[in-house]
């Protein structure tokens, strides 16, 4: 994930459970070249399960030359050989994560609907900030509902990339792209697509242009 402002792309988030054959599904989703990052998010899984899953997805991400991000824990991201970590507000500071990961690995921060949290994350050295949930989501419940204008504000103020997350589908994504999102973080709209993950990604590609 680059700090340079570029066209909006997809940031895929894993389904809550990786079923059998997920590596093939991930490879298919990455094949169109529309996604540029993948986050492994397995809430409730123990460390060993996360590390086993990381061993499955890491080579797929490497082959596609996209960033492999682990959710929540910098220490586990380091053990998993991830390219970075995504931190929620309860997952420790950017400074702590940087101490663990060192330079060269990415740190993203959930900022909900808060401009203050986003500015703090940027000043602390985060590599990207994430706003959301823009829409209701079955993947992750959230009471925060930012307006697309927060993406415009951020993109006009900062070079640091911003991610829009939460219930995003090809049908509702266009206003977020127009507002200035650098990445659309998506999960169910891809993995639960009736024609498969690659078709789900291509549907977003038509919105991204």
The domain spans of the chain are 9-208
CATH pick for 9-208 out of 3.40.50.300, 3.40.50.720, 3.20.20.70, 3.40.50.1860 = 3.20.20.70
pLDDT tens sequence across 129-178: 999 999 987 766 567 689 999 999 999 999 999 999 999 999 999 999 99
Mark 146-179 as b/e (b = at least 16 C-beta within 10 Å).
bebebbebbbeeeebbbbbbbbbbbeebeebbeb
Q: What is residue 21's predicted lDDT score, i.e. its pLDDT?
A: 95
pLDDT at residue 25, as a whole number:
97
Residue 171 is predicted with a pLDDT of 98
Cα-Cα-Cα-Cα dihedral sign, residues 135, 42, 53, 103: positive
pLDDT for 3 beyond 60: no
pLDDT digits (tens, 9 = 90+) for 63-117: 999 999 999 999 999 999 999 999 999 999 999 999 999 999 999 999 999 999 9
Find the mean pLDDT for residues 35-58: 98
**For position 1, what pLDDT does the model report?**
64
pTM: 0.94
pLDDT for the residue numbered 6 = 72
């Amino acid at each position: 994930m680059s700090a340079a402002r570029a066209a909006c792309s997809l940031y895929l988030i894993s389904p809550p459970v990786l079923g059998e054959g997920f590596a093939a599904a991930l490879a298919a989703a990455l094949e169109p070249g529309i996604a540029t990052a993948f986050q492994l998010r397995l809430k409730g899984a123990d460390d060993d399960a996360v590390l086993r899953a990381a061993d499955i997805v890491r080579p797929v991400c490497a082959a596609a030359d996209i960033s492999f991000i682990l959710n929540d824990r910098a220490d586990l991201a380091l053990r998993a050989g991830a390219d970075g970590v995504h931190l929620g507000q309860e997952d420790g500071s950017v400074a702590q994560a940087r101490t663990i990961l060192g330079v060269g690995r990415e740190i993203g921060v959930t900022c909900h609907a808060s401009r203050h949290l986003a500015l703090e994350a940027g000043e602390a050295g985060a590599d990207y900030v994430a706003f959301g949930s823009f829409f209701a989501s079955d993947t992750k419940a959230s009471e925060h509902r930012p307006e697309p204008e927060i993406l415009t504000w951020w993109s006009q103020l900062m070079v640091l990339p911003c991610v829009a997350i939460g219930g995003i589908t090809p049908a509702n994504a266009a206003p977020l792209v127009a507002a200035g999102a650098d990445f659309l973080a998506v999960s169910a709209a891809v993995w639960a697509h009736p024609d498969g993950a690659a078709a789900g990604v291509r549907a977003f590609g038509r919105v991204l242009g």
